[in-house]
Structure 1
Amino acid sequence: MSLPIALQLWSVKEEAEIDFFGTLEKVAKMGYDGVEFAGYYGKSASEIKAVLNQLGLKSAGAHVSADQIIHHIDDVIAFEKELGNKYIVCPWASFNSLEEWKEFTEHLQQSGKKLSEAGLSLVYHNHAHELVPVENEYILDRLLNAVPANLLKVELDTYWLEFAGVDAVEYMSKYKGRTPLIHVKDMAQSKEESTEVGNGIMNIKGIVKQAKQNSIEWLIVEQEAFTKPQLVSVEIGLNNLKKILADT
Structure 2
Amino acid sequence: MPVQTSIQLFTLRDELDADLDGTLAAVSARGFSVVEPYDFVHRAEPLAAALAAAGLAAPSGHAFLASESFVNPDGSGTSIPVPAPAEVFAAARTLGMGIVVDPYTEPARWESVAQIEETARLLNAAAEIGEDWGIRVGYHNHAHELEATFDGVTGLEVLAGLLDERVVLEVDLYWVARGGVDPVALLERLGRRVVAVHAKDGTLDPALVDAYPPADQVAAGEGAVPLVEAIAAAPALELAIVEFDHYEGDLLDAVERSRVYLDEKAAR
| TM score, norm. by length of structure 1 | 0.89
Amino acid of the structure 2 residue aligned with 1:221: V
Counterpart-to-counterpart distance in 2, 1:111 and 1:97 = 22
2:228 is matched with which residue: 202, 205, 217?
A: 205
Q: 1:169 aligns with which of 184, 208, 230?
A: 184
- Counting aligned pairs with the same residue, the percent is 26
Write the distance in 1 (CA, Å) between the matches of 2:230 and 2:180.
Answer: 15
Structure 2 residue runs of 5 or longer lacking an equivalent are 70-81, 210-215
8 Å Cα contact 1:123-1:153 kept in structure 2: yes
Mapped partners of 2:88, 2:42: distance in 1: 14
Residue in structure 1 matching 2:97, options 81, 85, 102: 85
More deviation, 9-18/65-74? 65-74
State the partner residue of 1:222. 243
Aligned pair in 2 of structure 1 residues 197, 48: CA closer, same or farther (>3 Å)? Answer: same
2:161 counterpart residue number? 145
Which residue matches 1:232?
Answer: 253
Do residues 74 (structure 1) and 86 (structure 2) align? Answer: yes
State the one-letter code of the partner of 2:255.
Answer: V
Q: CA deviation at 1:71?
A: 6.2
Q: Distance in 1 between matches of 2:162 and 2:236?
A: 23
Change (3 A) 1:232 1:134: same
| Whole-Å separation in 2 of the counterparts to 1:205 and 1:190 | 20
CA RMSD of aligned residues (A): 2.2
| 1:198 aligned partner, one-letter code | G
| Correspondence list, 1:89-104, <5 A | 89-94=101-106, 95=109, 96-104=111-119
Distance 1:108 1:241 in 2: 30
Matched residue count: 243
- Which residue number corresponds to residue 13 of structure 1? 13
Residues 184-217 of structure 1 show CA distances to partners (whole Å, capped at 9, x for unaligned) of 0011251533211111112222123224xx1311
> Partners in 2 of 1:202 and 1:164 — Cα distance?
12
Selected match of 1:155 from 170, 186, 200: 170
Secondary structure of the 1:122 match is strand
CA distance in 1, matches of 2:220, 2:68: 31
